């Protein structure tokens, strides 16, 4: 199964990130999949953690980040459990995605035959992991939190040298992100700079920033998701609940349907145009043979006569019939030259 369609011509792709919100409870994780799929998410994303492969516990402790090791260790699924989650996604007709934090985790995802691999912001400069992910032969969705354009450009060059297929995500790695810290015009700037699809990894509360990002050109959005914010876990605060996923997917459809650049008149507008536009109308009684002056004319609705934009063309023309004041001037009222 591969339903991943990402690009400027597609409906923005919505990724519901379970992350570690289900802890290590496989049945709860399956429930997350069911609810997110039912709410319209295009993909459900997990995290593939192997604590000792991705962290040096003692060094994490030294910098005051020992809790991260403990939390991750308590929110890890085995390879077989990840396979069960992918199978459950397939049954629910939604894409399974996951973020690896070690080369071995990439090995697991390749064995699962995933359709794409999400690269977290912390791995943007992890070239051995990126190299292994490219070898897996699937598109990469690469987050760019904590990085400036120079760092992003270096990674883009690294990936391009390996002919990788990838997209980038604009991201602010702040939990929760203050909306004032977003620079959403960066999305279009990144598209221009790197010529790849660009999405938005949203760590703010609510869906408003993601909706704005889609309207600003985000090809896909990733949003932490939970079935209940009262569940334990550090990411619950920035997670949205089922009805908000539903809202987000509705907006994705709306953004897509309203994103055209061609200006045309709808059938409904044509009906409005008939009464809303102005026609040239006589301000005074006029007689056949009389040459029209500006004082003889005005403009009024409806737009069923000579259009008001021809007002100054008609001045000096001879009228061919008697017309009382307040008559809509038609083309056949003018005397042929």
Nearest one of 24, 5, 59, 34 to 242, comparing CA atoms: 34
What's the predicted TM-score (pTM) here?
0.84
* List of residues 6+ apart from 335 with CB closer than 8 A: 289, 317, 318, 319, 320
What local confidence, expressed as pLDDT, does residue 240 receive?
94
Q: What is the mean pLDDT of residues 267-288?
A: 93
pLDDT tens digits, 8-67:
999 999 999 999 999 999 999 999 999 999 999 999 999 999 999 999 999 999 999 999
Question: From the centroid of its chain, how far is CA 226?
Answer: 20
| Per-residue pLDDT, 2 | 65
Position 170 scores a pLDDT of 98
Q: What is the pLDDT of residues 190-226, one digit of tens each?
A: 999 999 999 999 999 999 999 999 999 999 999 999 9
Q: How many CB atoms lie within 10 A of CB 254?
A: 15
Give yes or no for residue 1 having a pLDDT over 70: no
Residue 102: burial class (beta carbons within 10 Å; 0-12, 13-18, 19+): buried
Using the 8-state DSSP alphabet, how is residue 327 labeled? P
Closest to 125 in 3D by CA, of 138, 141, 107, 142: 142
Residue 189 gets which letter from DSSP? H
Confidence band (pLDDT; 50, 70, 90) for 269? confident
- Phi-psi region at 187: left, alpha or beta (left = phi > 0; alpha = psi -120 to 50): alpha
Instruction: State residue 235's pLDDT score.
Output: 82
Per the CB < 8 A criterion, the answer to whether 25 and 231 are in contact is no
Is pLDDT above 60 for 295?
yes
Helix (H) or strand (E) run with residue 159 in it = helix 149-161
- Average pLDDT of the chain is 95
The band of 305, judged by pLDDT with boundaries at 50, 70 and 90, is very high
Q: What is the pLDDT of residues 228-238, one digit of tens each?
A: 888 878 888 88
What domains are defined for the chain? 13-257 (3.20.20.70), 267-333 (3.90.1210.10)
What is the enclosing helix (H) or strand (E) of 199?
strand 198-202
Above 90 in pLDDT, residue 266?
no
pLDDT above 90 coverage of the chain, percent? 88
Cβ neighbours, 10 Å, residue 70: 14
pLDDT number for residue 22: 92
CA gap 225, 45 in Å, rounded: 9
pLDDT value at residue 3: 73
Q: What is the pLDDT of residues 91-123, one digit of tens each?
A: 999 999 999 999 999 999 999 999 999 999 999
Residue of higher predicted confidence among 271 and 284: 284
What confidence tens digit (pLDDT) does each residue in 160-176 have? 999 999 999 999 999 89
Task: Please report, rounded to a whole number, the percentage of residues in the chain having pLDDT higher than 70.
Answer: 98
How far separated are the first and last CA of the chain, in Å rounded?
71
Give the dihedral of Cα atoms 34, 95, 222, 230; nearest 10 deg: 20
* Alpha carbons 275 and 303: distance in angstroms, whole number: 6
Of 84, 128, 14, 111, the closest CA to residue 119 belongs to 128
Q: Report, as an integer, the average pLDDT of 121-135.
A: 98
Instruction: Give CA–CA dist 217/236, Å, rounded.
Output: 27
- Predicted confidence (pLDDT) per residue in 178-190, tens digit: 999 999 999 999 9
């Amino acid at each position: 199964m591969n339903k991943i369609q990402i690009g400027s011509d597609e409906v923005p792709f919505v990724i519901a990130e379970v992350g570690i919100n289900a802890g290590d409870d496989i049945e709860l994780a399956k429930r997350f999949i069911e609810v997110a799929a039912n709410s319209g998410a295009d993909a459900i994303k997990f995290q593939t953690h192997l604590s000792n492969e991705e962290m040096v516990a003692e060094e994490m402790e030294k910098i005051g980040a020992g809790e991260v090791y403990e939390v991750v260790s308590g929110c890890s699924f085995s390879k077989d459990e990840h396979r069960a989650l992918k199978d459950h996604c397939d049954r629910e007709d939604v894409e399974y995605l996951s973020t690896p934090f070690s080369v071995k985790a990439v090995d697991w995802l390749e064995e699962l035959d995933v359709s794409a691999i999400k690269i977290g912001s912390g791995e943007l400069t992890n070239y051995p992991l990126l190299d292994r992910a490219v070898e897996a032969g699937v598109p990469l969705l690469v987050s760019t939190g904590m990085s400036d354009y120079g760092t992003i450009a270096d990674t883009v060059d690294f990936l391009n040298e390996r002919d990788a297929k990838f997209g980038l995500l604009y991201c602010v790695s702040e939990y929760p992100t203050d909306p004032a810290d977003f620079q959403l015009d960066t999305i279009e700037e990144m598209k221009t700079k790197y010529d790849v699809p660009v999405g938005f990894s949203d760590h703010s509360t609510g869906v408003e920033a993601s909706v704005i990002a889609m309207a600003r050109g985000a090809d896909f959005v990733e949003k932490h998701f939970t079935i209940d914010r009262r569940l334990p876990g550090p990411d619950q605060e920035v997670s949205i609940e089922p009805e908000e996923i539903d809202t987000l997917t509705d907006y994705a459809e709306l953004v897509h349907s309203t994103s055209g650049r061609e200006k045309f008149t709808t059938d409904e507008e044509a009906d409005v145009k008939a009464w809303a536009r102005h026609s040239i109308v006589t301000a005074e009684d006029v007689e056949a043979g009389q040459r029209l002056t500006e004082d003889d004319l005005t403009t009024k609705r409806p737009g069923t006569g000579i259009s008001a934009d021809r007002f100054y063309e008609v001045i000096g023309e001879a009228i061919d019939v008697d017309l009382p004041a307040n008559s809509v001037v038609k083309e056949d009222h003018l005397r042929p030259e």
